[in-house]
A and B are shown apart, each in its own frame.
Chain A
Amino acid sequence: MVILLFFGKSFGFSSNLRVICAACGAGKNVKFFDFDWRSQTWNLLFVVGAILGGWISSEFLTNGEAVQISQATIQDLQQIGVSAPGGLQPDEIFSMGALFSAKGFLIMLIGGLMIGFGSRYAGGCTSGHAISGLSNLQLPSLIAVIGFFIGGLIMTHLLLPFIL
């Protein structure tokens, strides 16, 4: 984040989604995407870096251990049908089998839709609001983070038990 500021930029991940939409030509139909997206290509480097970082980490840095979450979480998740961790992600949602089932596919698609729509509506995601915004003591960012938690808590405690 400091490096981005040094280069005269700001730190936020979800704005890349808008840049990609614009780069694909969405500006022709929708005014929101009609801006000089080429000036934002620096931010796309961050995406490339994140993908590369994920690959390096899985190829060279991982020992294949399961994520060490608390016992209470494991028990809660088992009650709604998610097995204890065998890696970083649950097979019930992230395996190829889940992806090719209607439910698994819809979870990813609808979850993604809400993330894309919500982050643009709120003007930022975890990096833009929770990290950059709170660092700069921005009240709007605090409101947005409260919103993140309202949504997250509703999904975790009220909706997930029915979905999974």
Chain B
Amino acid sequence: MSKSEAISWYRIQEMFRFQAFHMYGIIGTAVVLGAIATYLIKKYNMKDYQGNPIIFTPKEMSVPRYIIGGTIFGLGWALTGACPGPMAVNLGYGYWAIAVAIGGALAGTYLYGAIKDKLPH
């Protein structure tokens, strides 16, 4: 992730300004490879290492939860230039400031758990 610069705040800014293909290429490649793998696993009913069939749990259908939750996530993504995976990579890279964002993310997760029954899903 760090070699592809997907952990860079600059790259995320560039993506949200639609000024380069870079991030779309990375995400697009991951989705295409993932889709091929998913298709093949389903087609040949592949098993995991314990011999259990690999099951894809469909995501529950709902609009408000994905739009509202997604929008809040997007606000944080563009502000810090990091989503949860790259946060960890940044920490390893030595950008210590990201530790505050990781603390914030843990607090945010906790907050969601605490008030989730009051939110529209």
Interface residues of A (CB under 8 A from B): 1-2, 5-8, 10, 13-14, 16-18, 20-21, 26, 29-33, 47, 50-58, 61-62, 67, 69-70, 72-73, 76-77, 85, 88-90, 93-96, 98-99, 104-105, 107-127, 129-141, 143-157, 159-160, 163
Over the window 80-121 of chain B, the binary record of Cβ atoms lying under 8 Å from chain A Cβ atoms (1 yes, 0 no) is: 111111011111111111101111111111111110100100
Q: Are B11 and A147 in contact (CB under 8 A)?
A: no
Instruction: Select one of A5, A119, A160 contacting B84, CB under 8 A.
Output: A119
Cα-based distance from A96 to B41 in the complex (angstroms): 46
Cα-based distance from A136 to B34 in the complex (angstroms): 8
Q: Are A95 and B97 in contact (CB under 8 A)?
A: yes
Identity of the chain B residue whose Cβ is nearest the Cβ of A61 in the assembled complex? B3
Cα-based distance from A108 to B98 in the complex (angstroms): 7
Instruction: Select one of A16, A50, A69, A122 contacting B66, CB under 8 A.
Output: A122
| B-chain residues with CB within 8 Å of residue A93 when the two chains form the complex | 9, 80-81, 97
Over the window 55-84 of chain B, the binary record of Cβ atoms lying under 8 Å from chain A Cβ atoms (1 yes, 0 no) is: 011111111011111111111111111111
Chain B, interface size: which category?
35 or more
Interface of B is mostly: helix
Q: Are A113 and B105 in contact (CB under 8 A)?
A: yes
Q: Are B16 and A115 in contact (CB under 8 A)?
A: no
| A-chain residues with CB within 8 Å of residue B105 when the two chains form the complex | 14, 17, 112-113, 115-116, 119
Q: Which 5 A-B pairs have the closest CB atoms?
A: A147-B70, A151-B74, A112-B104, A116-B108, A54-B92
Interface residues of B (CB under 8 A from A): 1-3, 5, 7-17, 19-20, 22, 27, 30-31, 34-35, 37-38, 41, 48-50, 52, 54, 56-63, 65-85, 87-98, 100-114, 116, 119
Known: A67-B8, A118-B72, A131-B27. A14 touches B67 (CB 8 A): no
Instruction: Select one of B49, B78, B82, B96 contacting A8, CB under 8 A.
Output: B49
Q: Are A152 and B31 in contact (CB under 8 A)?
A: no
Identity of the chain B residue whose Cβ is nearest the Cβ of A109 in the assembled complex? B104
